[in-house]
Amino acid sequence: MPVQEKRLADYRAIIGPAAHAELIALASKLRGKRVAHISATPYGGGVSELLQSVVPLQRDLGLDAHWFVLRGSPDFFEATKTIHNGLQGAPVVLSDEMIATFRHLNEANAADFTDDYDYVVVHDPQPAPLVSLCERRGTWIWRCHIDLTNPNASLLGLLKPHLEAYDAAIFSATEYQPRDVALRRAYIVPPAIDPTSPKNRHVYDEEREALLERFAFDPDRPILSQVGRFDPWKDPLGVIDAYRMVKEKIPDVQLLFVSSMALDDPEGWLWFERTARHAGEDEDIHFLTDIRGVHSLEVNVIQRETDVALAKSLREGFGLVVSESLWKRVPVVGGNVGGIRLQIRDGRTGYLVSTVREAADRATELLRAPDRRKAMGKAGREYVRRHYLITRYVRDYLRIFLECPPGA
């Protein structure tokens, strides 16, 4: 995958000289090391967004970093979506045909990959079997971005022999480490956002005005928004129910669903249709997707126009949309699950909720309290600056590489 050039120097004013110097010092010990990242798709989710920043920053630091994407098929992605849901706890069953497709596509991709790298980082379940199918030369690391708190035992069993073959594994939270898998090494590395990316950079007034002209929602009226895939774990139907409760008290509130229809998520269209049916003819519910030209900069503007961001997930690997909103000084009402718990300081940068009613009550409370929203937004931006920026994420990778040298 091609990536745009990035310079660590552009982050120095944001992260400070000490953090900048630490990255330079760590990278000096890895200069020239070859790194391959392998993921399922080039766009449409948090993994691809991370790699669009991680790979060029690793290159700027002197590593020879590359990003590869699987060759798949609709049947393959249907199988991997079922695996994804099962690993997050859904009571799904993988058919014999799905298992065969999953194995066959990984075998085909393995045949095309030559391990000529010091480090190979394999992202998520889709390409996990590659570690058992490729002739390995370097250190192989499995990077899990999903919530394995309560996995479907049969699907975890399908991956177990492959996961145990990795030299190390990385999880977004401590509780995500599977208890029944004998990992050689395990690291906890929460993901992060890139403050210089089109989705998170400063937006100029003329950009904002030009983009807002394209949308049907009214920026002068209260706005709730949820950014993320159409997915049962994101609870889009519950979001609509919460919005309707808010609307009973704040009649002019609007709800924006902002999403990209990812290549590896055939279930997304099904949940888009279900969500649209649940919304009915409500003109204050707006669906804004990449199919209609809503890309990173548009998402940036929409998030900045939001009064209260929602992240009402029922299960969540991490949910970087929380940090994205907080970075833009927007408080977040989020599900009290997974990585969302790490990002929201309950009562300080937003609220953690467990029910539709709680989500509605907290959103209503914040919409009626502009001073509190402002204070939470300020606290949220500083919290993200200290904990969830991409430079910290790159630093953690460098530390892991140093602890897991090839051939160790």
pTM reported for the whole predicted model: 0.89
Examine the pLDDT at 61 and tell me if it is beyond 70.
yes
Q: What average pLDDT does the segment 126-140 reach?
A: 96
Domains within the chain, CATH numbers bracketed:
8-192+389-403 (3.40.50.2000), 205-387 (3.40.50.2000)
Q: What is the mean pLDDT of the chain?
A: 94
Give the pLDDT of residue 315.
Answer: 83
| Euclidean distance between CA atoms 387 and 343, whole angstroms | 9
For residue 302, is it left (φ>0), alpha (ψ between -120 and 50) or beta? alpha
Give one word for 284, left, alpha or beta, with left for phi > 0 and alpha for psi -120 to 50.
Answer: alpha
Q: Give the tens place of pLDDT for each residue, 191-205.
A: 999 999 999 999 999
What are 203-252's pLDDT values in tens digits?
999 999 999 999 999 999 999 999 988 888 899 999 999 999 999 999 99
Kindly list the distances between the CA atom of residue 171 and the CA atoms of 116, 148, 153, 186, 233, in Å, as whole numbers in the listed order: 25, 9, 18, 8, 19
Band (pLDDT 50/70/90 cuts) for residue 408 is low
End-to-end CA distance of the chain: 29
pLDDT band for position 108 (cuts 50, 70, 90): very high
Residue 76 has pLDDT above 70, yes or no: yes
Checking if the pLDDT of 278 tops 70, the result is yes
